[in-house]
Chains A and B, each alone.
Chain A
Amino acid sequence: MKQERFVAMHGREWDSLQSWLSALERQPQRTMRQEHALDFPQSYRRLCHQLALARGRGYSREVTDRLQRLVQQGHRVLYRPPAPRWHRVAVFLLAGFPRLVRSQWRCMTVAALLFYLPALITLVLMQLRPEFAHTVFSSAQLAQFEKMYDPGNPHIGRSSGTDLQMFGFYVMNNVSIAFRTFASGLFFGIGAIYVLAANGVLIGGVAGHLNAIGYGGPFWRFVVAHSAFELSALVIAGGAGLQLGLTLLMPGRQRRGPAMVAAGCVGAQLALGAFAMLLVAAFIEAYWSSIAALPNEVKFGSGALLWLLVLGWLWRGGRERSNGA
């Protein structure tokens, strides 16, 4: 068949498809509801067939380029990702995320050890040798910690600022740290190891120092509730980074490229889950932990409850019901 006859036969269909696709770019919602939308998959596949014919018959660029443009545009529409649904977010947070954390339990355990061991060691060291605090922190830092957790302070855990301000600060600061921990794991895991251990020393140091000078009461009352979410999220972000770095080193029975893509996908989901956890942590830290007037039983009781909740969620969340009875 001659090219011009081919164009004359199908040109009208191409024109109508083109105008529908351009309308879709301008007004996606309304155009999708049109009758024409139902015909789109068939006419797209016809178009592909016609492009293959045009290529095979060696028609000029005029025709093949026009068809190629239409096909690229149509491909984007036909294979577009499904619209995001809130339901899936809920399912991911309740079931998918804990499952993912458990599937990476080796990296998570290593990350937890990398964080909690330095923290514990520094904490104990500070009790035995209180002067050790001055090698870890500068005097200005120590003065600030002491001011924040002064038993006479009506708002523990901060020297100034309102709840909302601190909420913004905690989100910005903690989530940025978690995201950077994950991303820096790409350097063979070194970045993640460093951030985990450094934060362990830092947090253990603050706890140890305040405990040693007798400000332990306000400190533990402050951190017990939100630390459940915050520390677990940091460990998970670190584990996600370790997982990325380890895959780069040992891709297993896969080529490195596809292994890294899979690891990146797992890591991003873990980072997103950690982000959600840190939002909760920042909320608790800003609006609940800072209240000094509550009795110890309420503070420590709620803290224990939250720790149980987080660990239980990570341990059992998304498990299949055992098929007994």
Chain B
Amino acid sequence: MLDTVREIETPEGISLRLRAAGALPRAQAWMLDALLRLGVFMLAMIPLSLLGVGGNGLAMLLMFGLMWAYSVVCEVWMNGQTVGKRTLGLRVVNADGTPVTWVPSVVRNLLRVVDALPGVYGVGLACTLIDPHARRLGDIIAGTMVVHTSELPAGAQVPTVAAIPPPVVLAADEQAALVEFAERSGQLTLQRQEELANLLMSLTGRRDTAAVSQLIAHANWLLGRA
């Protein structure tokens, strides 16, 4: 298990896996958001500049909204995602894995001021590198974290061959190891497959290619295939 994964137990007794997002994808999402906001502001300035000095006031209200309210409103209304975060597949969640709510979102976005301080996000970058869950100061105080939305890719499917029962009864973790080997065998080189299969000589009684196909056949039996 990767160490950036945070496991949280839900009331149902199931553990959720939250994969913390590091500084790089978050910086990219922030860049996208910044460009988007700049674009919206410039587009809005075209009609506003025709309104004269009154338009100036509206432009400042718009700038205020884009500066302070944009992130909070997006995060609360779009399930913890601003447009940039959605594009990059990120999400802000509360400490218990639920979508971020009003007050925590306000905290993390107000304290952005502190994270952004020396130069461009100096404090924030240092903080994400130190924190085990890659949280910046605002996230720590708001009790939120930024996670990847997409799950780890599921292992490739076990190739179907005629099932052979293993000669001894295997424990649950041994079964899991065998099935995972069979799932991943397609991604390994032939030599590596054989090297791994040869470790189980005592189980299969064979070597090399024959041992690999024997193990896959055992995995098929463990999966309940006829």
A residues whose Cβ falls under 8 Å from a Cβ of B: 2-6, 44-45, 48-49, 51-52, 56-58, 60-62, 65-66, 68-69, 71-72, 75-76, 79-81, 84, 161-162, 164-169, 171-172, 175-176, 179-180, 182-184, 186-187, 244, 257, 260-261, 263-265, 267-269, 271-272
Contacts and interface: CB of A to CB of B under 8 A. Distances in A.
B158 interface: yes
A21 to B, nearest CB: 13
Nearest to B112: A183
B224 A4 contact: yes
A172 B107 contact: no
A58 B111 contact: no
Interface stretch (B22-30, B140-148, B191-199): B140-148
Contact of B99 (A58, A76, A168): A76
Given A72-B151, A169-B57, A268-B106, A79 B225 contact: no
Interface in B92-140: 96-99, 101-104, 106-107, 110-114, 137, 140
Given A58-B172, A165-B56, A183-B111, 14 more contacts: A3-B223, A4-B223, A4-B225, A52-B14, A65-B155, A76-B99, A161-B56, A165-B57, A168-B58, A175-B64, A179-B68, A244-B141, A260-B140, A268-B104
Contacts of B110: 179, 182-183, 268, 271
Contacts of A165: 53-54, 56-57, 60
A175 B106 CA distance: 14
Contact of A58 (B53, B67, B103, B176): B176
A172 B172 contact: no
Chain B interface category by residue count? 35 or more
Given A72-B16, A75-B16, A57 B224 contact: no
Given A4-B224, A172-B64, A186-B111, A80 B99 contact: yes
Interface string B160-183: 000000000000110110011001
B98 A75 contact: yes
13 contacts: A3-B223, A60-B180, A80-B79, A80-B99, A162-B53, A168-B57, A169-B60, A172-B63, A183-B114, A257-B140, A261-B141, A264-B104, A265-B103
B13 interface: yes
Interface of B: 10, 12-14, 16-17, 53-54, 56-61, 63-64, 67-68, 76, 79, 96-99, 101-104, 106-107, 110-114, 137, 140-143, 151-152, 154-155, 157-158, 172-173, 175-176, 179-180, 183, 219, 222-225
A186 B60 contact: no
A264 B58 contact: no
Contacts of A172: 60-61, 63-64
Task: Give 8 nearest A-B pairs by CB, closest first.
Answer: A2-B224, A168-B57, A168-B60, A58-B172, A165-B57, A4-B224, A48-B12, A183-B113
B224 A3 contact: yes
A169 B96 CA distance: 40
Given A62-B154, A172-B63, A265-B107, A68 B54 contact: no
Contacts of A3: 222-224
B154 A48 contact: no
B10 A176 contact: no
Nearest to B224: A2
Contacts of B107: 264-265, 267-268
Given A3-B223, A60-B223, A186-B137, A166 B57 contact: yes
A213 to B, nearest CB: 29
Contacts of A168: 56-61, 64
Contact of B54 (A44, A45, A162, A179): A162
Nearest to B79: A76
Contacts of B64: 168, 171-172, 175-176
